[in-house]
Amino acid sequence: METSTSWTGVGTALVTPFKKNGAIDEALYRALARRQVDAGVHILVPCGTTGEAPTLTLAEKRTLVEIAIQESESGRRALVLAGAGGYDTREVCHAVAEMEKIGANGILSVTPYYNRPTQEGLFQHYRAIAESTSLPIILYNVPGRTGCNIEPATVLRLSAIDNIVGVKEASGNISQIAEICRIVPREFVVLSGDDVLTLPLMALGGRGIISVASNEAPEAMVQLVAAIERGDLATAQALNRRLMPLMQVNFVESSPGPVKFAMAEMGLCEAHYRLPMVPITDASKAKVLAVLESLEMKGHAVS
C-alpha cells in the first residue's frame, strides 16, 4: 500500500474526451494523460466530477483508469487515484474492487449524494469501503454538489482508519478547512478541491490540490504548489494572481463545461459532453476566450 505522503502535490481531475457520437476518445484521453505526466503532475485522477463520472459505465471507468495507469508507467511517473464513489455503499465497494484489480494506486471516493446520510452514516459508509480494499482512500467532500458535508469531527474519526489517508476538501468553507488541518494527524493529507483556495489551504497545512485548471495549465499548477511547499510566498502569490482568472472562469458554468471548451480552443480536445451536461452559453464562451487570450493560451496547448 502507498504511504499517505505519496498523495501530495498536484493531482489533475482529468476530463473525459468524447467523440461527436458520444463514445470515449481513448486515443485522445491517452494523449491528455501523457501531457499531464510529462508536465510533472504528481497524481492522475480519472473518473471524477470533471471526468463526467456519473455518465460513465463501470466498464468505461475501467478503461480510463487502465489508460491512466499505462501512461503513468504503473505509478512510477505519477500515481493514479481512481474515482469510485456514490450513494450505494455496496456498489461503491464493487467499483473499488474493480479499480484495485486493474492496478490503481488509490481511490478518491466522493460522499454519498441524494440520500444525505448522517455523520454516523458517512463514517460507516467509508469504514465499509476501507474494509473492502487494501488501497489507500482519499475522502472527497464537495457539499455544494452532493448536499452532504463531512464535518471535521467525522474526518478525524475516519483518519484513524489505516487506509483512509487523506481528504479532498471542496466545501469552500475556510473555517472548516482550517479546523480539519488543525485536528487531523500530520500524516493525514488535506488536499484542496478548489483551485482558488490552493494557496490559503496550503498555508493552513494542506499538501496540494486536485485541480481542474491543471487540465489546461499543468506545469503552471505544479510550479504554484512547489513554490508554496518551499515557502516561496512571493513566487506563489505571483503565480496565483496570474492563474486566478483561469481558476475562476472554469466555474462560470457547471464544470466541466468551461474547462472542456477552453481545452477545445487550445487544440487539446473537442467540446463534446454527455447529457445532462451541455455546451456552455455564448456569453460564457466569451468569458473563457477573454481569459485564454489574456494568458496567451488560445490556440496553444501550453504546459
Catalytic residue positions, numbered: 140, 168
Beta-carbon contacts of 206 under 8 Å, excluding residues fewer than 6 positions away, are 169, 177, 181, 190, 191, 192, 198
Residue with cell 495507469: 69
Burial class (CB in 10 A: 0-12, 13-18, 19+), 303: middle
SS3 helix, strand, coil % of the chain, rounded to 5? Answer: 50, 15, 40
Beta-carbon contacts of 177 under 8 Å, excluding residues fewer than 6 positions away, are 169, 171, 190, 197, 201, 204, 206
Q: What is the largest CA-CA distance in the chain?
A: 49
Per the CB < 8 A criterion, the answer to whether 96 and 132 are in contact is: yes
